[in-house]
Amino acid sequence: MEALFYIFSFIAIFSALMVISMKNPLTSALYLILCFFAFSGFYVMLDMQFLAVMQILVYAGAIMVLVVLVIMILNISKIKRVETDFHQKFIGILISLIIFVEIIFYIINGSQKKSTGIFTGAVIKKIGNTQIIGEFLFTKYTLSFEIASVLLFVAIIGAYIFAKKKF
C-alpha cells in the first residue's frame, strides 16, 4: 500500500510539473491526463472507487477531451509562442513556495480531530460507496444537486454563446 502511494505520488508530482513546464500545450494536456489517472489511483486507495471512476470519466474523459479539442481547433502549437519573463517566473515560484510552506505548517501544527463519523472503511465496503453517495445526494443534498444541474445547463448555454461567431 505504502509503496503504491509513493509510486502514484511520484507520477502525480512529476506529471504536474511537466504540465506547467512544457512549451507545447498539447503535451501539457497529455501529462495532465496522466496526473488525473494518478489521482484516481489515490481515490481507490481511499475506498472511494466511485470517485475514481468519476475522476477518469469527467476529468480525463470529458474535460481533457474538450481541452485537447480546443487546442486542436485553435492550432495553438503553431501560433506565436508566449514567453514569461524571468522576473515574473521568479516571483511566481517564490510566492508558490511561501504558500506551500505555510500550508505545510498548518498541516503539521494542526491538531488532528477525532474521527466522528460512522462510515469507516468496513462500513463503506459493506454498503458500497456508490450507494452511500447516491443516498446522500438524493436526500440531504437534493437542493444542491438540483442547483448543480441548473448550473451545468447554464454553462452549456454560456459556452455556446461564447463560442458562437457573432454575438
Under rule CB under 8 A, residue 143 binds other proteins = no
Closer to other proteins by CB, 118 or 126: give it. 118
Under rule CB under 8 A, residue 95 binds other proteins = yes
CA distance from start to end of the chain: 54
Under rule CB under 8 A, residue 111 binds other proteins = no
All cell numbers assigned to 9 = 505520488
Under rule CB under 8 A, residue 72 binds other proteins = no
Binding residues among 123-142 for other proteins as defined by CB under 8 A? 123-124, 129, 132-133, 136-137, 141
Residue from 97, 128, 138, 142 touching other proteins (CB under 8 A): that is 97
Residue from 4, 7, 72, 102 touching other proteins (CB under 8 A): that is 102
Residues that bind other proteins (rule: CB under 8 A) add up to a total of 89
Residue 118 has phi, psi (to 5 degrees) of -100, -5
Query: In the complex, what is the shortest distance from the CB of residue 126 to other proteins, in angstroms, rounded to a whole number?
Result: 13
